[in-house]
Every structure is written in structure tokens, then in C-alpha cells.
Structure 1
Amino acid sequence: MSTNALKAAATGGAVTRTNEKPKTLDQLLASPKIKAQMALALPRHMTADRLARIATTEIRKVPKLATCDQVSFLGAIMQCAQLGLEPGGALGHAYLLPFDKRQKVNGRWETVATEAQLIIGYRGMIDLARRSGQILSISARTVYQNDKFSYAYGLEETLEHVPNETGNRGDLTHVYAVARLKDGGVQFEVMSRADVEKVRAMSKAGSNGPWVDHFDEMAKKTVIRRLFKYLPVSIELQQAVVLDEKAEAGIAQDNGAALTGEYSVVDDTPPPSLANDEINPDELLSGFVEAANVAKTVEELDAVYAAVAAPLASHYDVLQQVTDIHGTP
């Protein structure tokens, strides 16, 4: 077995089969191996079946997602799983959008691939912030022309907002976010409509997707993201902000890195037995050591050991070395 195949065993990935026709994204999402990877990353309140169904629904709502590079799409789904966020507009946690990757070809800009990008919604940002344990509450509000609104920074910071509930509130003028910390402190950030529009203008997705369909929510997310600079946040939230900033700037998120194991086309048929391969004990030993180094759990290490133990049965000296490394008595 190759070192790459052993690494795939170590991380729960599928053995690559490049001679098979790629499946559709719908089929890949239904794959037990993809669902198994999702399940490993998901928090307790979510299931792999639910995430797969939601992702399939998003493909039907945004047909261009079906044309996305499969690794980028599955990687974006895996990022959702790792962050514990549901994609789609139902909760407003996150959105999956297709982005055309353009490069110069013979002096002309051409679309060379379509990749899926993960955009975090403001409710997703709030959900992640609350998980840090240091933030008691965080909220964002939009301000309109006919509301009563004032704020001041400095030694005596103040913020007052009284919405006009008796008539037309007018156009959106400001957006603000407030966080109450566990130690009793309060932080807030205010942005004008012009400030938000500047951020939108720099976004690759500024003319479509959530910026068009859910402008108020994107404005709230923008001010929340700015507020995060002054708050104690978790690693997951930092990761979400980085992903979101890349999506806004049109920079590749490298979502494929979220997939474990080697991936090109997932195949649900079992790989051929090692017993049928030509056994090279030294190569298997070297591959085992390298794959063992990337195994993150005892179960993953056991999977690698099981993959090499049987074919090494007739090579006792090498098997003993593998057993010693594995720690099996």
C-alpha cells in the first residue's frame, strides 16, 4: 500500500481512484464516507444527515453550486461542520456561494474554475462569539433616519437608540454592535451607512448573494466583525473571521484543506486487499511511521496498524518493529 493510502487510513479518508467517473455533488453528500468525516467534525447539536440535506437544498436553491469544484464545495461544508454552523438562509449562520476563479490565459482573463466559498452570516458570528465563554451577550442593531440615535466615544462612552415605532423609519443610516463581557465590561462599535458601503464595495460578492438579498444582516455582520477586534474570542471565531474576510476579498479560502485524507473522487467500494499487492516490507514500515505521525487519535493509529499488520505477517522482524511503534503488547 502507498504512503498516501496509509495517510488516508490514518485520517479516515478514502483511497483515491482517479480512473473512475466523478460523482455529482448530490451523490458525494450522500456518501457514507463523506458523512463519516462530517460526523467527526460536528458538534453534538448537529448531525451529518441534517448537514448533508441542507447542503443538497442549497445546491437546488443556487444551481451554480453544482458546477463548483468538488473539493472546494465539500471543504466548505466541512468548514461549516467544524464551526458548528448551518449553511443556508434559514438560520442566517452561513451561506455557500459560487465564485469564478479567473486567471490570465494568453493575455486574457478567463474563468478557469468555479469554487465554493463560505460566507459567515451575522447570526453565525454571534453564535461563535457566545461559545467563547468570555462574552455574556452580543447583539447588533440597525438604525434608521427617523430613529432617535446618539453615541459618543472617549472617557465617558455613551450609546442611545430609540427606534421610531409610530411611522416610517426612513432609510438605514447606521449599524452598531454591543457586547457584554463576563467581567462586567461593555464594548460597542458603530458604523455609518457610508462605512458599510465601503466594505461592500471591496467585496467580490457585493453585487450578489447576501449583500443584495440580506443587506441589513450583512451590515450587522460587518460591524460585529469590527467589534471582534476588541473582544476575547475563540480559535473557532478567529477561523470564521479569516474565512469570511477571504470570501469578501475574493481570495481562495483553500477549503479543501478541511478534508481529511487524500481526496479526488470518493469511492464507496472497499479498496483491494493488501494481500493481493506485492509486499515491500521496508516501504510498509516507512509508510506506517509517516502515517502514524499524522494520526490524531488512538482509533486512527489502530486503523493504520490494521492496514499493515496482515500483509506483514510473513515478515516477522518488520511486523515486530511496527508493533513496537504502535504500542501493541
Structure 2
Amino acid sequence: MATNQDVRNQLANRVNQPPQQPQSPEQTIAGYLKRMGPEIEKALPSHMNADRMARIALTTIRTTPKLLECNVSSLLGAVMQAAQLGLEPGLIGHCYIIPYGREAQFIIGYKGMIDLARRSGNIESIYAHCVYEADEFNYELGLHPKLHHKPATGRRGEMKYVYAVAHFKDGGYQFEVMDKEEIEKRRSRSKASKNGPWVTDYEEMAKKTVIRHMWKYLPISIEIQQQASQDEVIRKDVISEPVSVYSDAIDINVSSAESIPADDQNSEDQQADFADNGTLFDGQ
């Protein structure tokens, strides 16, 4: 039976214990990625693994700190979309995760669209190029379509056109040409028109825009078509209920020096977001 002295000793020990430091948003995301590891592993193709995807996702978040202000459900949804498509977010340009207000938006990059097209098995090669003022360029449509492009040497001037070409394994081909004005029209319909890759990698996004327009003419399976339809969407259905990560050891490398602490209001907002199943909706 505990004596009064025992009770006093226990209370004294609790008072003397240092208070637990609240997790930073980055550590919280790392904890969720750890818990999602088995599901990410199932979604990934054989040449990728969940640990690598988690580290790439954390690197992307560190290089875009505003992602830490996004709903955790949408951020994890974007990571899962990348995993399901077998595309790595970040520097190689397969796909991007960018903040749109407090939502994390998934965007397929130029190289990601190329990769998805090649998976169809019916395409020998697919590529896109930008045409500049000083280049020699002309094309014809009709019964015998032709396209000729000879890049200028030295200063090439401003970008005028972008074209994409796909060669099929049966010997056929398809090409599409867009001028910069048309590309800008399509850019203006994107929620990510003023940030993310449209700002940092304009030419890559211009190439992707032309390939995306050509998509419906390519011999691509329904499955690949559906995968490409995830471009520029926000997914929030990964977390179905609040999950505590405080009791789990996080073995993903997270630098406390890079962490951005959340204030009380953001913490309350995130807790509310965790409980929201969310929806899947298309970007414009």
C-alpha cells in the first residue's frame, strides 16, 4: 500500500521531469510516412521501395517549406499518388508536390508523362522540343504531315512554339504543335499557374502541356489513361481518422535544425484536418 511519502515522491518526480517537446510539423509528417510504409510499399513498382519514397518526400518538403502549412491529409495523398504511379517527386522532374493554399497539389512533370507513355508498350519513342525565334522551323498537316526543326546555334531568342512527337512500334507516328500563346492559355487554367514548376521549370511544363494534349491520340491503355488523369489533383482520402505518432520512434532522418515549429492555432487546424476523409477532385 502506497504511503503518503510514496505519493509525495511520485509527484516530485513528475514535477522534476522535463516537459515533452511538441513535435515539429516535419516530424509529424515523418511519423505518418513511417506508418504508411506498408501501404506505400504495396503501391510502388518493384524497382522502388517505401523508405526511399519517404526520404524523397521529406526532401521535397524541406525544399518547399510552405508544404508544412498544408493539410497533412492532402500532403500524404500527394505522396501516395506519386507512389501509385511509380514517379519520384523532386529534382528529376517526374512529378511535383506544390502548395495550393493549405492543400498539397500533385502535378505530373514532363518526364513523368514520358515515362507513363512508354509503359504502354506501344510507343517506340516520345519526346518534345521548344522552338525559338532564330530556329529553322516549319510543319505541314494533311494527308502527309511533315515537321522540320533545325535549332539555331548561339543566341536563339524567345520561345515561339513547342512540339511533341511520338513514334509507334508499328511504324506510325503522331505529332502536335502549340504556339506560346496557346500554352499560356492552358497554363492560366491551372491552379498552379503562378508557383511551382510553371515558375521554376517553364519549358518542361510547356513540353508536358503539348504531350498531354496529344495523349488522346496515342495507343495507350485505359489504365495508363486513368493514371494520367491524376495530374493536377488534390487527394485527401489517405487518412481516415486521427492517428497519434507521438509514441512511435521515428527512424527517418529528420534534422531538428530544419524543422519549423507549428503554433497552437496551426496544431488545432491540423487536428481537424486529420479527421476529414476528404475528396478527390480535378484541377483545371
The verdict on a shared fold, with TM-score over 0.5 as the criterion, is yes
The alignment covers a number of residue pairs equal to 226
Please report how far the alpha carbon of residue 236 of structure 1 lies from its aligned counterpart in structure 2 after TM superposition: 4.8
Equivalent residue number for residue 128 of structure 1 = 116
- Matches of 2:234 and 2:192 in 1, distance apart? 17
Alpha-carbon deviations, 1:93-118, whole Å to 9, x = none?
00101112xxxxxxxxxxxxx11110
- State whether residues 143 and 174 of structure 1, in contact with CA within 8 Å, keep that contact through their aligned partners in structure 2: yes
Superposed counterparts of 1:1-329, under 5 Å: 24-31=25-32, 32-88=34-90, 90-100=91-101, 114-165=102-153, 167-244=154-231, 247=232, 253-257=233-237, 259=238, 262-265=240-243, 267=245
Please report how far the alpha carbon of residue 71 of structure 1 lies from its aligned counterpart in structure 2 after TM superposition: 1.1
- Matches of 1:227 and 1:73 in 2, distance apart? 29
- Matches of 2:29 and 2:53 in 1, distance apart? 13
Q: Match of 1:184, SS?
A: coil
The aligned amino acid for 1:186 is Y
Q: Cα–Cα, structure 1 residues 59 and 213, in superposed 2: closer, same or farther, change >3 Å?
A: same
- Matches of 2:221 and 2:29 in 1, distance apart? 31
Alpha-carbon deviations, 1:174-195, whole Å to 9, x = none?
0000001121110000000111
Q: Match of 2:100, SS?
A: strand
The aligned amino acid for 1:242 is S
Please report how far the alpha carbon of residue 27 of structure 1 lies from its aligned counterpart in structure 2 after TM superposition: 3.6
TM-score, normalised by the number of residues in structure 2: 0.74
The aligned amino acid for 1:72 is S
Paired-residue identity, %:
51
Please identify which structure carries the higher helix content: 1
Equivalent residue number for residue 284 of structure 1 = none
- State whether residues 71 and 264 of structure 1, in contact with CA within 8 Å, keep that contact through their aligned partners in structure 2: no
- State whether residues 96 and 117 of structure 1, in contact with CA within 8 Å, keep that contact through their aligned partners in structure 2: yes
- Matches of 1:123 and 1:143 in 2, distance apart? 19
The aligned amino acid for 1:46 is M
Structure 2 residue runs of 5 or longer lacking an equivalent are: 1-21, 249-284
Please report how far the alpha carbon of residue 59 of structure 1 lies from its aligned counterpart in structure 2 after TM superposition: 1.1
Please report how far the alpha carbon of residue 205 of structure 1 lies from its aligned counterpart in structure 2 after TM superposition: 1.5
- Matches of 1:194 and 1:85 in 2, distance apart? 30
Alpha-carbon deviations, 1:183-222, whole Å to 9, x = none?
1110000000111111112222212211111110010000
- Matches of 1:189 and 1:147 in 2, distance apart? 18
- State whether residues 28 and 245 of structure 2, in contact with CA within 8 Å, keep that contact through their aligned partners in structure 1: no
The aligned amino acid for 1:66 is L
